[in-house]
Structure 1
Amino acid sequence: MKTIIKNSILTAEIKHFGAELISLKTNLNKEYIWEGNPEFWGKHSPVLFPIVGTLKNNSFHHNEIEYHLSRHGFARDMEFELIDATENSATFSLQSSAETVKVYPFEFELQIIYTLRENNLSIIYKVTNKGKTAMPFSIGAHPAFTLPNQFENYVIAFEKDESFKYYLLQNDLISNKTKKLEVHDKKIPLNYELFEDDALIFKTIKSKSLTILENENPILRVHFEDFPSLGIWTKKNAPFICVEPWFGYADTTENSGNLFEKEGIQILESNATFHSKFSIEIV
């Protein structure tokens, strides 16, 4: 099933499976979200929960029991319930179940709220700990923006000056090795060689927004005020770029396997609710 929300400027389409944004178009029918061609990557904008990235050995232990969680967690591969909808907004819910506790032994509700306002789509994540003990989790966005013309025509411009030091992956885990991007005027010119070692992973970032430009003309802006970490990713010759605000990231190569000790993890107390928000502005 799919839900469509719209206003006088934009139309967004959200698939109930994964509560995944699959289309964001202007009223002139210009599409901004990657089409999901499986030749390159068959998704559009999955939500990453209750982990971001890969766990060491794809597992963690809790109360002396070992659990197995696949890369980026299970939310993106589960059916959400539409619990509220208006012409320009939709709220989706995923709750813990007998299926989820087999791989993640915590009681939760994850709500994802999409709202269109003028030329902006906001996405709010609400995580509620419905259990009696503290709950460790990560959450992240993974929107892929379509780049229909030559990849090298595009540039990512950051809001602030950054160190532009990013961490290299080793067997899908974050290693201690880093590289530094050569950046001029806070801009990263895109080319596929940047992603030879997989994603660019910034554990900390000062900027709260970035802009994608084509031939120096801004196309869209991603705002991520709440998020401390960021990933940028594409695949060889793929006509899209992913801009991924995160709370948390893949395990480091030294990780202990205790989810509560995981670098970048969020700890939510019983009956507490976590909120975060990012937005896509068409410019």
Structure 2
Amino acid sequence: MKVHLQTDQLRAVLDSLGAELVSLQNSTGKELLWSAGPEWPRHAPVLFPIIGRVPSEVLHYEGRNYPMTQHGFARDNHFTVLETTAHTARFLLRNSPVTEAMFPFPFSLESSWSISGPSLDLTISLTNTGTGPMPASLGWHPAFRWDPSPGSQLLFDKEETADTRRVDAHVQLTAARFPTPVHQKVLTLTEDLFADGAIIFESMKSRTVRYVSPQGPVLDLALAGFAQFTVWKQPGADFVCLEPWAGLPAPASYRGEVLASPGQMLFQPGEERSFSCRLTTHP
């Protein structure tokens, strides 16, 4: 099911499959999202209950093995549409026999959207509805149009001086750390920057990131609750992903139980946490 939200400055289309944003157009009708072409067949998926890929694509819990695909199952499941208006939409995914075959924990994952003027707000709320602790990572993976001409930049509102992280070819976290590519709050975006894959800001200070593209509008991402931020580009493709994360991929060397996996959040019974991103377009 497709849901349309609109103001006189912004138009958004959401799909109940994955509660995914599949189109975002400014007041002139310019499409801001990637087209989900063959280089990467997604627009802006929600990542849950893992980010990246666990070793051997298997979760270990209480002596049993559970198959888990890259970035989890939320993006490939239909959410229940709870509510829609001209300016709001709410989607819900709960555990089911399908999810329990991969992730043996009861949960409630709600994706709420609202549109106002030039801004689109996303809030993702995750609740542990079970009786024991629940491990999880959660992220948003929007891909925005990439302008190949020189001058594309990310502008951070704080100095990002900490080392960054990378993942290997299996999308698992490596042990190595790398000097930040941000200089005086500016990250210049080039093809060469992504030759070794995604750049992960493990403990980002900034709460606002501005994407500036020479031939396109300016986009601001204002974040709350997300501790990590990742920038990724498929070489040669005309998109760049700006990804708020809450959690990290599993280390490539980790073979233990999922409850103790480094980088995962741990939710106690009944615990709820919310994570939000406001996306604002500027002429």
Shift of residue 216, structure 1, vs aligned partner = 10
Q: Which residue of 2 aligns with 1:75?
A: 74
User: What is the TM-score with the length of structure 2 in the denominator?
Assistant: 0.94
Residue 152 (structure 1) aligned to one of 150, 153, 156: 150
Q: State the one-letter code of the partner of 2:153.
A: V
Q: Does 1:14 align with 2:11?
A: no
Shift of residue 232, structure 1, vs aligned partner = 0.4
> Given the superposition, is the C-alpha separation of residues 151 and 53 from structure 1 closer, same or farther in structure 2, using an over 3 Å criterion?
farther
Q: State the one-letter code of the partner of 2:270.
A: N
Listed as ranges, the gaps of 5+ residues in structure 2 are none
Higher strand share: 1
> Given the superposition, is the C-alpha separation of residues 181 and 129 from structure 1 closer, same or farther in structure 2, using an over 3 Å criterion?
closer
Conserved 8 A contact 1:151-1:190 = no
Please list, as runs of the form range in 1=range in 2, the aligned pairs for 1:34-45 lying within 5 A after superposition: 34-38=34-38, 40-45=39-44
Paired with 1:176 and 1:271, the residues of 2 have a C-alpha distance of 33
Paired with 1:168 and 1:277, the residues of 2 have a C-alpha distance of 24
Shift of residue 233, structure 1, vs aligned partner = 0.4
Q: Which residue of 2 aligns with 1:55?
A: 54
Paired with 1:136 and 1:217, the residues of 2 have a C-alpha distance of 39
User: What is the TM-score with the length of structure 1 in the denominator?
Assistant: 0.94
Conserved 8 A contact 1:56-1:257 = no
Paired with 2:92 and 2:216, the residues of 1 have a C-alpha distance of 37
Report Cα offsets for 1:42-98 as digits up to 9, x if no partner.
100000001111112212211111112111000000111111111100001111111
Calculate the aligned-residue CA RMSD, in Å.
Answer: 1.7
Conserved 8 A contact 2:233-2:241 = yes
Conserved 8 A contact 1:162-1:207 = yes
Listed as ranges, the gaps of 5+ residues in structure 1 are none
Percent identity over paired residues: 29
Greater mean alpha carbon deviation, residues 247-256 or residues 223-232: 247-256
Paired with 1:163 and 1:229, the residues of 2 have a C-alpha distance of 14
Greater mean alpha carbon deviation, residues 239-248 or residues 173-182: 173-182
| Number of matched pairs | 281
